[in-house]
């Protein structure tokens, strides 16, 4: 019986640890520098499985009107750090649709409307981030 309970607790802990999206309050790069935002290649309908794949780190006050080619129209989820805000555009050089995200986790950019019929999944082509 004790073993079963221990296993159950271990399983529950694992579910907790399984959360992928970083906490906006402690968002930092691998060297411990504060980040303005982190942009992820993949997302999921299951929030604890979102923020996966490769990621792109955005520094405080970084202005990138033309996203690196490999990242163009590739971002599906993102996290914006504490007291930061991220503005994104759907075309290079701050053209097309524009959207501002404040501190928090966007598990599914697909759920964020772009214009009348579109959404922001795989649609970001440039950004500006301030803290």
Ligand X SMILES: *[C@@H]1O[C@H](CO)[C@@H](O)[C@H](O)[C@H]1NC(C)=O
Closer to ligand X by Cβ: residue 90 or 121: 121
Closer to ligand X by Cβ: residue 34 or 110: 110
Closer to ligand X by Cβ: residue 37 or 75: 75
Which residues share a beta bridge with 87? 100, 128
Q: Which of residues 97-116 bind ligand X (CB under 6 A)?
A: 108, 110
Give the torsion sign (CA, 20, 29, 35, 122).
negative
The distance of closest approach from Cβ of residue 46 to ligand X in the complex, given in angstroms and rounded to an integer, is 11
Distances (CA, A) of 105 to 47, 77, 113: 10, 8, 16
Q: What are phi and psi of 2, to 5 degrees?
A: -60, -40
43 sits near ligand X (criterion: CB under 6 A): yes
122 sits near ligand X (criterion: CB under 6 A): yes
Contacts of 99 (CB under 8 A, 6+ apart): 87, 88, 112, 114, 120
Read off the DSSP letter of residue 21.
S
Closer to ligand X by Cβ: residue 94 or 110: 110
Q: Which of residues 1-40 bind ligand X (CB under 6 A)?
A: none
Among 76, 99, 105, 120, binds ligand X (CB under 6 A): 76
Name the residues that contact ligand X, by CB under 6 A.
43, 76, 108, 110, 121-122
């Amino acid at each position: 019986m004790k073993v079963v309970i221990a296993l159950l607790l271990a399983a529950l802990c694992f579910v907790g640890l399984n959360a992928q999206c970083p906490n906006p309050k402690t968002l930092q790069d691998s060297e411990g520098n504060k980040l303005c935002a982190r942009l992820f290649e993949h997302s999921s309908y299951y929030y604890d499985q979102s923020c996966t794949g490769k990621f792109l780190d955005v520094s405080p006050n970084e202005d990138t009107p033309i996203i690196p080619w490999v990242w163009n129209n590739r971002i599906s989820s993102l996290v914006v750090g504490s007291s930061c805000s991220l503005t994104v555009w759907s075309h290079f050089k701050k053209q097309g649709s524009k959207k501002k995200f404040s501190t928090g986790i966007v598990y599914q950019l697909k759920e964020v409307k772009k214009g009348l019929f579109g959404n922001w999944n795989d649609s970001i082509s440039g950004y500006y981030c301030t803290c």
